[in-house]
Structure 1
Amino acid sequence: MPQPTSAQSERLIKKYPNRRLYDTQSSAYITLADIKQLVLENAVFRIVDAKSGEDLTRSILLQIILEEESGGVPMFSANALAQIIRFYGHAMQGVMGTFLEKNIQVLMDIQDRMAEQSQGLYQQHFGPEAWAQLMNMQTPALQNMMNNYIEQSRHVFLQMQDQMQDQTRNLFTGFPFPGQPESGKSNKKKR
């Protein structure tokens, strides 16, 4: 979540034991739908347990994602979710979170740039129906561009992984590990 700026202070939402969410800015109880709207408006907020003060923002956002995935058109396939679960507890867990976050930011930047570039065109020449058709035609091109980007990222990641393995091998060549040839000795069996 973005850090609050001087112009935009952090909105505090308290979660009570009865599962109700209280917005301290509006002095009213709100719902998960209201939290979703805050996210869509890029509002800066934090959700805390009213009793303990524990930060619950992530868990509430995960609840919203679960609701979105359960209804309508899900964003993640079962296979994608299974792959994400496999990263928990894995040595690459930290890398995965950063990787997803950076790639989502790239996608958002592309979306913003497309919106900026087409805004004038939309306002001058298109009605809402024509705009929707234009965006539907752009979807395959955008998906192709993202697939190319992901394939390039995969290639770079595999190269980085190979380099790390080579560096690790070079670093530990002087240590006798089971199943590895000792440094300076031949791999040939003695007769």
Structure 2
Amino acid sequence: MTEAAAGASARLIKKYPNRRLYDTQTSTYITLADVKQLVLENELFKVVDAKSSEDLTRSILLQIILEEESGGMPMFSSTMLAQVIRFYGHAMQGMMGTYLEKNIQGFMEIQERMADQSKGLYGTNQFAPEAWSQFMTAQTP
């Protein structure tokens, strides 16, 4: 589904000047942890500024990534983040975003296929995250 099509059917979350997030579907205030849960559940949503209706979804998602990176085991190394920053303003900036998006999608499809195959081999018991980590470590050059 395209982002424009998703916006029409997406759950609407309003961000107020006091930085609070209001879920219009449940009529309650929510936290970034609640928004993260929506992402994990593949729930379509859109965050907008309550006054200007400006789309803030990317900003909220970046805040969630920042919190995740700050607390515990970061996914991105400083070197990798510096390399990404270097692409801003570069002629290849647009291609880099598309490249990363397609590679992550491909990785997710492979993971899903492997999970389906493991169900056939091991019944309904799926591999734990630790088993996936060991498998992927063995696959790297």
Judged with a 3 Å threshold, the aligned counterparts in structure 2 of structure 1 residues 41 and 142 are, in CA distance, closer, same or farther, namely: farther
**1:23 and 1:29 in contact (8 A); partners too:** yes
**Residues 17-76 of structure 1, C-alpha deviation per residue, up to 9 Å, x if partnerless?**
000000000110000000000001000000000000000000000000000000111010
Whether contact under 8 Å (1:2, 1:44) holds in the other structure is: no
The farther-off stretch of 112-121 and 50-59 is 112-121
Give the drift of 1:138: 1.3
CA distance in 2, matches of 1:143, 1:13: 40
Q: 5 Å matches for 1:39-54?
A: 39-54=39-54
Pairwise CA distance, 1:136: 4.3
TM score, norm. by length of structure 2: 0.88
The answer as to 2:138 corresponding to 1:141 is: yes
Distance in 2 separating the partners of 1:97 and 1:119:
33
SS at structure 2 position matched to 1:108: helix
Query: Amino acid of the residue matched to residue 138 of structure 2?
Result: A
Counterparts of residues 72-83 of structure 1 (less than 5 Å)? 72-83=72-83
How far, CA to CA, are the matches of 1:23 and 1:110 in structure 2?
Answer: 34
Q: TM-score, length-normalised on structure 1?
A: 0.66
Q: Percent identity?
A: 69
Question: What is the number of residues matched between the two proteins?
Answer: 138
Q: Tell me the CA shift for residue 134 of structure 1.
A: 4.2
